[in-house]
Structure 1
Amino acid sequence: MKPFSTNVAMFKYCLTLLIVVFTCTVTYSQTAFSNNPDSAVFLTKDIDVFWKAFDLFKKDTTVNPFGSAYLDIGSAGVKGFTPGRIKSAENLFLVVRKRRSDYEKVRATTLQMKEKEKQCRSAFYALKYWYPPAQYPPVYFVIGAYNSGGTFNEQGLFIGAEKQTDVSNIPFIVAHELIHFQQKNWMENPTLLQQSIIEGSADFLGELISGATTNKIAIDYGNKNEEKLCREFVTRIDSTNYIDWLYGVSGKDNHPNDLGYWMGYKITQQYFVKAADKKEAVREILDIKDYKAFLTRSGYLKEYLK
């Protein structure tokens, strides 16, 4: 056994090394992608690879080709979209067998997505104007298991092509995910207020840079029923139960899905409108640390929180 002093010295050395490694890792994750919109890569080749596997499936529906002919040879986009979404070759095989006709209906649409790169890149340039430090990761268009239209992680943006029935919406979906990529201060188990602002601000800023948002049903319903929804929302802002507001409805009434997006949009919109310096407002929206303070500064829901 080494003397105690030696062990302490070794501990301090290891601790210092860990701090250096951690700092370098964080720095790398924050600077891994360029802040030049021209640097962003739009990758659609996984769509073509999927359809080749799909055609193999049609020739013999008892054999699963989606491992060796798709997941195993797919890009980093397929690898990034697999956990929690595609899940596995076996899961994708089961979903394709069950929803074969749905996949066939969107085949032509998925093959048109590469045509939207120019419009997507225009949104990237718009973000550069509003938020100069923005980073532009790869955008991967992949085909999944009909459970996600889009997401992101530290490696890039992922668009679930099979969920997109209207190719004209692609720039708006990409813009939404691009805003998520810029957002800071992510947390575990966010409240309904926090998650609604996270999603709604991505819709608002995504619309600012691309010209539209895809949540038209929720927006139309929300605007027509604003007072009723505001009264309901303030009773649940601290809840972590999102039902009837985000990602699912109970069916208790005619609520459309994802009204939390609309609520977060309205809060963010009012914050932005009130701001004297709009670019500074964008920076603040992307770096919210206290969501209740943000709500208060926006002024939205003020009369319902008394």
Structure 2
Amino acid sequence: MKLRILTSLAAVAVLAACQSEPTVEYEIQSVDAHRFAAIFEATEGTPTADDLRAGYLDGAGRGVEIFTPHRIRDAQHLASVIAARPELYRRGIDVCLPLADDSNDELNRIYAGLKEIFPEETLPDIHVVFGAGNSGGTADADAQVLGLEVICAIEDNEADIRARYRHMFAHETVHAFQVHSPAATEIDPLIAYSIREGFPDYIAWRVTGVAPDAERDSWAQENADMLWRRFSEDRATLNAAIANGTPYAQASDEMQITMRNWYANYRAAPEGWPYEMGYWMGRQIVTAYMDNAEDEAEAIATLLTFEDPLEILEQSGLAELASQSPE
């Protein structure tokens, strides 16, 4: 299955908005990242939990607040991660933080493109922070947050880091707009997760003109037949468990392992695979769904608030591909 080339007038208009001078005035919020950097420098890269609590977590802004419960967790956990991987934070401070501070024009170009697609939505503030080495970014309704030490660990050079920022400015913002539907996950968890992540990747592709993660995209296109077979098999495994009375909200170990073939598997993907292949699968479904939509605005609204992943899959025309019987 080949990645579709942007040809619609709407897509061309979005790319034009991104390439023109930015008109939306937003600024990346990095105060807390600089507070972290100051503590790291003052302690020669060995901050204690007390140092981090007093100088970083206490009195922090919205970005750290969003990142704390499931990522940073607490000062003791953060201190232990820094002690184990100080080089991540050294590079994040030296490389990724200055680049973030220098990315406001790129942010505003991306946001101009997003306003073309989501004219009624309020664009969230963007915060960059240092977390516990486990998340490159997340979003809440009012803000998106990027984890600098993870982005610096993933990307090798300035060009790739800037490209990652542009992608995440778009991808995480769509998450800020989405309505989370637990009911949709219980209908078909793999399809639901794929649409939930594939839609932000689709929008990021539209506003940047670049496929998210070029290496993953190239590998996936070359291995698409195998991927759809595995996707169908894992989807059937998950749905059978739900049919047998195990809600996905109470996923068994087997269900979690199956889902990790596609999601949350950085450095733990199936052998030979790029990580997070579920994002690519979801983008194929969403792209096909959008290509078949008669009313683009209505289709986008459905993808933001979707309650029935099977309807979206059916309308994409890929239901048969995602429902193959084992050979």
**TM-score, normalisation: structure 2:** 0.75
Please, what is the CA RMSD of the aligned residues?
2.4
Q: Which amino acid is the alignment partner of residue 295 of structure 1?
A: L
Greater Cα shift, 55-64 or 252-261: 55-64
> Greater CA radius of gyration, 1 or 2?
1
Deviations 1:117-176 (A, max 9, x none): 221122222122122212212111111111100001234111111112223321211210
CA–CA distance in 2 between the matches of 1:189 and 1:289? 5
Q: Which amino acid is the alignment partner of residue 46 of structure 1?
A: D
CA–CA distance in 2 between the matches of 1:164 and 1:131? 27
- Residue number in structure 2 paired with 1:102: 88
Instruction: Please point out which of 125, 135, 140 is paired with 1:148.
Output: 135
Contact kept, 8 Å, 2:46 with 2:82, in 1: the verdict is no
1:82/1:300 CA distance change after superposition, 3 Å: same
Contact kept, 8 Å, 1:201 with 1:268, in 2: the verdict is yes
TM-aligned CA deviation for residue 69 of structure 1:
1.1
Instruction: Please point out which of 99, 116, 119 is paired with 2:106.
Output: 119
TM-aligned CA deviation for residue 38 of structure 1:
3.7
Question: Is 2:228 aligned against 1:245?
Answer: no
Contact kept, 8 Å, 1:244 with 1:255, in 2: the verdict is no
User: What runs of 5+ residues in structure 2 fail to find an aligned partner?
Assistant: 1-22, 153-160, 239-247, 249-254
CA–CA distance in 2 between the matches of 1:108 and 1:219? 30
Higher-RCO chain (CA-CA 8 Å, sequence separation at least 6): 2
TM-aligned CA deviation for residue 67 of structure 1:
1.0
- Residue number in structure 1 paired with 2:71: 85
- Residue number in structure 2 paired with 1:224: 222
Q: Which amino acid is the alignment partner of residue 217 of structure 1?
A: E
CA–CA distance in 2 between the matches of 1:284 and 1:156? 22
Contact kept, 8 Å, 2:181 with 2:307, in 1: the verdict is no
1:84/1:213 CA distance change after superposition, 3 Å: farther
Question: Is 2:315 aligned against 1:297?
Answer: yes
- Residue number in structure 2 paired with 1:12: none
Moved over 6 A (4+): none
Deviations 1:221-254 (A, max 9, x none): 2211111111221223252531211112766532
CA–CA distance in 2 between the matches of 1:246 and 1:63? 31
TM-aligned CA deviation for residue 73 of structure 1:
3.1
CA–CA distance in 2 between the matches of 1:172 and 1:250? 23
- Residue number in structure 1 paired with 2:197: 199
Contact kept, 8 Å, 1:40 with 1:137, in 2: the verdict is no
CA–CA distance in 1 between the matches of 2:104 and 2:273? 34
**TM-score, normalisation: structure 1:** 0.80
Instruction: Please point out which of 163, 178, 186 is paired with 1:183.
Output: 178
Question: Is 2:133 aligned against 1:138?
Answer: no
- Alignment: residue pair count: 270
Instruction: Please point out which of 274, 277, 281 is paired with 1:256.
Output: 274
CA–CA distance in 1 between the matches of 2:49 and 2:286? 50
User: What runs of 5+ residues in structure 1 fail to find an aligned partner?
Assistant: 1-36
TM-aligned CA deviation for residue 193 of structure 1:
1.1
CA–CA distance in 2 between the matches of 1:255 and 1:129? 35
1:227/1:59 CA distance change after superposition, 3 Å: closer
TM-aligned CA deviation for residue 61 of structure 1:
5.6
